[in-house]
Amino acid sequence: MTGAWRSVLPHLGHELPPDLSPPTATGPVTAQVPLELIRHSTSRREWWPVPEAVAEQYRRYRPTPLWRATRFEAEIGARVPIYVKYEGGNVSGSHKLNTALAQAHYYRAAGVRELVTGTGAGQWGTALAAACAAFGLSCVVFMVGGSLRDKPYRGSLMRLLGAEVHASPSPLTAIGTAAAGGRGGNSLALAIGEAVQYARQAPERAFCIGSGETYSILHQSVIGLEAIEQLAALGAGVDAVVGCVGAGSNFGGLALPFFAAHRAGELGAAPLLLAAESSATPKLTQGVYAYDHTDATGSGPMEAMYTIGAGYSISASHSAGLRFHGAAKLLSAMRHHGQIDAAAVGQRSAMLAAHAFARSELVVPAPESGHALAAAADVATGRDAGHRAAQGVLVCVSGHGLLDMTAYEQLRAGAVEDSTADAEALHAAVTGLTRVGTTMEVSR
């Protein structure tokens, strides 16, 4: 296991656009984020030692496995090797624990006693519940209501770990009360907004988020750093790296260490870095690069991101962890500068790929990871004419699907359908946003 996180910021060759105050702000926008996490997001320091208290927790499940998925290759007819980095073997069942432990450590050091968050599929909420248990903090989770109904045992697991769990929209916040009866039960932005409002109700609470922030992506760099070492130990090379994207911490954690290593002269040719998103929330493939809100309250800083609009009504899907309207500002800037690429994957294709992987490799992926597997399969077989690999493909299975049996049962029953974004609604949702610039062609 690596003893440090690696920042990609010194290797970008460009600055991230600054955050803006929302139009309704009457003064400076402040955040309850510990100073050390702010440093993680802004400093050009490259290597950050993992605190021993966090490293102690990491040693319970890291390093995570990497293997060549030969049976999956045969199942799909791959032309090149496919290597899998698996992050589902911890109590949260996903990569989210990597940053949850780090954040709980820093928030406790800053004097916070209760962390509040919003979660989509429940992986982040479970990870934060576990991290709070590890560091002696209270935890409150607002989970997307539709997802909690589909995955009730996610709620059970979070409660088992000591968290208080509420379906969003809830009656505990003004924004939740206002949204009750509408389509808010599918909105991760609303669940996050409820967490923001609830955290502000008491001084000992702090809102905590686990995907889109630059410091979260830094903490996830353990994934890619381990993968580079493990591939080297196997004498294997890859020229495509694939991960799924909700806001971006899984993909960023896997792919950006490869980008940094290439820029530092430690790797040969630059690999394709491919972000696999849901066709229901296609921010990187159909969105605009603009300043937008990160949650439904509209009270926090506006970030430069690829977005389909914070107000866009997102349809229900089994991949709630991908159901966020925007991509992380770090990944968005890299997309804008042609440093990463993206592909949109339909829900049925994702679930079929996940099912094939479960049958062949005997590991059940979360539906979110099915998007990465589908995109990786398209690259490895040559079905994706725009994204090719001649040497090998690395894909991250970012979480297990053992609590997603409703989705798999519906797949077996033929009841899983694709949900694509409505072009007219997309246009309306981004109308009026301040654009950052025009998208450049991807260069490798």
133: exposed, middle or buried (C-beta count within 10 Å: 0-12, 13-18, 19+)? middle
Q: Are the CB atoms for 285 and 249 separated by under 8 Å?
A: no
DSSP 326: B
The pLDDT of residue 28: 44
Q: Give the side-chain half-sphere CA count within 13 A for 260.
A: 21
The pLDDT of residue 421: 81
Sign of torsion over alpha carbons 290, 292, 294, 296: negative
Q: Within the chain, which residues score under 70 in pLDDT?
A: 1, 24-31, 181-185, 316-321, 437-444
As a whole number of angstroms, the distance between CA 298 and CA 340 comes to: 28
As a whole number of angstroms, the distance between CA 385 and CA 84 comes to: 22
As a whole number of angstroms, the distance between CA 291 and CA 283 comes to: 13
The pLDDT of residue 444: 42
**Coil, strand, or helix at residue 323?**
coil
Task: Please count the other Cβ atoms lying within 10 Å of the Cβ belonging to residue 409.
Answer: 11
DSSP 30-79: -----HHHHHHHH----EEEPPHHHHHHHTTT-SPPEEE-HHHHHHHT-S
The dihedral over CA atoms of 160, 165, 167, 172, expressed in degrees to the nearest 10, equals 160
Sign of torsion over alpha carbons 354, 355, 357, 363: positive
Residue 421 neighbours by CB under 8 Å, 6+ apart:
279, 280, 281, 282, 286, 308, 312
User: Whose structure tokens read 């989509």?
Assistant: 120
Alpha helices in 59-143 (DSSP H): 70-76, 97-109, 123-135
Structural domains in the chain, sorted by start: 52-93+215-423 (3.40.50.1100), 95-213 (3.40.50.1100)
As a whole number of angstroms, the distance between CA 328 and CA 306 comes to: 8
The pLDDT of residue 442: 43
* Global pTM value: 0.93
As a whole number of angstroms, the distance between CA 400 and CA 408 comes to: 12
